[in-house]
Structure 1
Amino acid sequence: MNFWLVKSEPDAYSYDKLEAEGRGMWDGVRNYAARNNLRAMKEGDQVLFYHSNIGMEVVGICQVAKEHYPDPTAESGDWSVVEVIPVRRIKRPITLKEIKATPELANIALIKQSRLSVMPLTAEEFEKILKMSK
């Protein structure tokens, strides 16, 4: 199993909306590195859901329910989507400020490549964020 973090502006697509829908298509990604990360996701992989711009915090866990296929929202180009399902909210949202202040998380793409919307995490990074929420 692999671990990931996806970012979305909560006024565009929030964890609340994912929970309400029960399943969401992660579409609209127009960055090659993020697209390649989508293509590397496998069914069952665990994903942290991060609210960007508003809140700037990890708020929940979702899971890859369907591996990549062509993005139906793309008018041109070679873009992909995956489908995710909500797993659960984390007990306490973890802010970007907390992540930046945690030495074990110093190398995650959320800090190093802040514009990247889909990024890999190590199992240790994933678990560290979950432990911080308790």
Structure 2
Amino acid sequence: TRLKIISASVQIDGLNPYGVVSGGSIVLEGAMCAVILRKSSGPRSGPSWLSNVAAVEYSTMETLHLNYDTPTSEASAGGTVYCLFIGSFSEVLDHDEHPHVSLCGLILKPTVGGKFERIGRWKQFIEYYVKNKYVFKKSGVVRVEII
């Protein structure tokens, strides 16, 4: 995997160290790609430093599956989501006895202050016919803070 955990923090309500979590963040370094869900005439949403992140249109990612945490997550992203690559694994699918490589990661949307919020997870099946199978291998590594 190309993912590295840099730091993690948690805020607890009250004095009980096992109490209710009120906030937190995790800082990660990893390959990230912008996935454009809807074309717009304006610039891509997100911090200006993300303008160098590789971008692909969702319609060209034949086997990319976006699984949102809530029904409104996609609409809240503003037409572009950021897919952070977590890792790859080999699995046997129902229709075939040979293992296939799948990539997986988190779907993020930019928030204030250059931070991100997780809004889902993604998975991409790598098949021989997939044109954009090397997007995450070619994507640059960025440092992100997820709140």
Normalised to the residue count of structure 2, the TM-score between the two structures is: 0.27
Q: Bigger radius of gyration, 1 or 2? A: 2
Normalised to the residue count of structure 1, the TM-score between the two structures is: 0.29
Q: Which has the higher strand share?
A: 2
